């Protein structure tokens, strides 16, 4: 069986479905944003890990190393916040190819330190090794949470409100923007290289010298004007610890919660699957930024599809009892987008014209095109 037939979550399920915890300290293992460990103190320990691979999760042709360092930490802290926890420590493991210099890795770590300082997190260890295929980053985040505050994916109940923080689809639009400018740049380079090959074959040294100079002096300026927010959402996302804090301050305990890393539709399907429920969300309620809508129109893409399936937003998706409607509506940057239903009613998107479509998990899947 090809790995791509199962995808990331199908593979995880197949590999772990018969693994049962053997230690009393393991309260929650595979299947949520974090593992939950109990070592007898007043709080529970939260542990999560993420791996970022060059060519799969990031492209160094347009991703600054400092931004990559920041993002690699943030994506882990987001999982801690999604369990209503507080991040405390991280460990960092790197696999490096020979093309990286000491200064490059210092720049990467500068971004990591910035993220740690912003969220009051300690970098306490890790590992470094060599790589034949580029850069790989693996970070483990450790946090803590009071046992009564832990929120899993599995607690949603019919009639609960479905809420989301921030706005959706901007990170995906930022990625599309950078990919577009990368293609324009690469096409210019390829054209010069083709002309160089032709000049070399013809023995035209004068033209070859001119083209060499043209290639070395190529000053490509990508067009990012008016799209700065989209770039920030892709290159420098933020973990929404402020929303978790606001919920605690408002006395609201979500019934289920996840962070949106693989796309709203995928994450909502996870909550429904773990909670054995259905859902209804409304297209007109999806939170969108103006730049996201403009960029989607420019690229001839459906902006709602981008919001549902784009991924890398790192916003919080959560459910709350209907009785919390007034309180949750008063939290800045939180929007109610639908409600939980009985499982037999299915999972649907209600479009602006009132029609219903089955909600599908079409978000980011890193193993979708795996060949090994």
Q: Are 34 and 46 in contact (CB under 8 A)?
A: yes
Per-residue pLDDT at 285 exceeds 50: yes
Candidates 284, 286, 283, 282; CA nearest to 260 is 286
Candidates 265, 319, 261; CA nearest to 74 is 261
Strand stretches in the chain, DSSP E? 26-28, 35-37, 44-53, 86-96, 122-130, 136-145, 161-165, 256-259, 277-282, 316-320, 334-342, 347-350, 356-358
Residues 208-264: tens digit of each pLDDT: 898 888 888 787 778 788 899 999 999 999 999 999 999 999 999 999 999 999 999
What CATH class has 161-175+230-358?
Answer: alpha beta
Domain covering 3-149 in this structure, CATH number: 3.30.1330.10
pLDDT of 57 reads 93
Tokens of 250: 């408002």
| Residues with Cβ within 8 Å of residue 93, at least 6 apart in sequence | 126, 127, 128, 129, 137, 138, 139
> Residue 371: pLDDT band by 50, 70, 90 thresholds?
very low
Strand 256-259 and strand 316-320: pairing?
A: antiparallel
Q: What is the rounded CA–CA span in Å between residue 133 and residue 55?
A: 9
Q: Helix, strand or coil for residue 336? A: strand
Strand 44-53 and strand 136-145: pairing?
A: antiparallel
Q: Are 315 and 259 in contact (CB under 8 A)?
A: yes
> Residue 104: pLDDT band by 50, 70, 90 thresholds?
very high
Residue at token pair 């706005």 = 167
pTM of the predicted structure, to 2 decimals: 0.90
pLDDT of 9 reads 64
Domains 3-149 and 161-175+230-358 fall in the same CATH topology: no
Per-residue pLDDT at 8 exceeds 70: no
Every domain of the chain and the residues it spans: 3-149, 161-175+230-358, 185-228
| Residues with Cβ within 8 Å of residue 99, at least 6 apart in sequence | none
Q: What is the rounded CA–CA span in Å between residue 57 and residue 137?
A: 10
Per-residue pLDDT at 61 exceeds 80: yes
Residues 328-350: tens digit of each pLDDT: 999 999 999 999 999 999 999 99
């Amino acid at each position: 069986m090809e790995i791509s037939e199962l995808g990331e979550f199908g593979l995880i399920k197949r590999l772990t479905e018969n693994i049962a915890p053997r230690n009393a300290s393991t309260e929650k293992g595979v299947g949520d944003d974090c593992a939950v460990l109990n070592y007898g103190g007043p709080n529970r320990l939260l542990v999560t890990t993420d791996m970022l691979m060059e060519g799969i999760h990031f492209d160094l042709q347009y991703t600054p190393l400092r931004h990559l360092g920041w993002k690699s930490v943030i994506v882990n802290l987001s999982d801690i916040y999604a369990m209503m926890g507080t991040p405390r420590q991280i460990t960092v493991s790197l696999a490096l190819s020979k093309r990286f210099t000491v200064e490059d890795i210092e720049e990467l770590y500068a971004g990591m330190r910035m993220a740690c300082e912003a969220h009051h997190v300690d970098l306490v260890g890790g590992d470094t090794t060599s790589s034949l295929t580029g850069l790989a980053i693996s970070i483990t985040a450790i946090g803590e949470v009071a046992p009564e505050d832990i929120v899993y994916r599995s607690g949603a109940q019919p009639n609960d409100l479905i809420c989301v923080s921030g706005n959706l689809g901007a990170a995906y639009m930022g990625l599309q923007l950078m990919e577009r400018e990368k293609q324009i740049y690469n096409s210019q380079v390829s054209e010069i290289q083709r002309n160089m090959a032709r000049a070399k074959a013809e023995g035209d040294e004068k033209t070859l010298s001119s083209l060499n100079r043209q290639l070395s002096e190529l000053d490509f300026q990508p067009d990012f004007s008016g799209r700065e927010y989209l770039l920030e959402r892709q290159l420098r996302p933020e973990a929404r610890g402020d929303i978790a804090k606001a919920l605690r301050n408002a006395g609201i305990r979500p019934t289920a919660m996840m962070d949106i890393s693989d796309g709203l539709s995928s994450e909502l399907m996870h909550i429904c699957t773990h909670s054995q429920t259905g859902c209804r969300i409304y297209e007109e309620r999806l939170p969108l930024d103006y730049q996201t809508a403009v960029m989607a129109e420019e690229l001839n893409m459906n902006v709602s599809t981008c919001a549902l399936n784009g991924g890398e937003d790192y916003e919080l998706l959560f459910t709350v009892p209907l009785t919390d409607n007034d309180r949750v509506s008063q939290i800045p940057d939180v929007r109610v987008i639908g409600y939980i239903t009985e499982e037999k009613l299915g999972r649907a998107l209600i479009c602006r014209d009132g029609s219903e479509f089955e909600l599908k998990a079409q978000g980011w899947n890193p193993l979708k095109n795996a060949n090994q």
